[in-house]
Amino acid sequence: MPRCSLPLPSNGQSEAASTSMATMATQVRIYTVNSGMLDSWVKHFNEAIVPTSAKYGVRVLGAGVNRPQNEFVWVRAFENEEVLKKYEDSAERAAYLAINRQHLAKTEFRNVEDVLRAPVASAAT
């Protein structure tokens, strides 16, 4: 699986924390949601998947919807395959898999290499 190996910008994190983030695996996940279920999927995602993922060390980096295509796209990162396996094998995740199956018509994922060197700062309003 591709891993990011670029140095991260200084952001107040310790060197160990920066090194850890630089080697995390990153996935982009694209879900086609069943018609009429996009809003309930977003609610379920935020209430169940995000906190359970975090509990097991799988960080959700971003999420968004493409309403015309009924698509939900999100990005997650994790330290290694063992961390991901612990999450995927957890009883908490198993408890909501049936809800996932009710909502999702199709799932795709891509392992990607993080190449962003430094995020662009937001303009002050």
Q: Where are the domains of the chain?
A: 15-111
pLDDT, residue 5, reads 30
Pairing of strands 25-33, 71-78: antiparallel
Angle at 107 between CA 102 and CA 110, to 5 degrees: 155
Which CATH code, of 3.30.70.100, 1.10.3720.10, 3.10.290.10, 3.20.20.150, is assigned to 15-111? 3.30.70.100
Binned at pLDDT 50, 70 and 90, residue 120 comes out as: confident
pLDDT, residue 125, reads 60
pLDDT, residue 22, reads 53
What pTM was estimated for this model as a whole?
Answer: 0.76
Residue 33 CB-density burial (10 A; 0-12 exposed, 13-18 middle, 19+ buried): buried
39-78 tens-digit pLDDT: 999 999 999 999 999 999 999 999 999 999 999 999 999 9
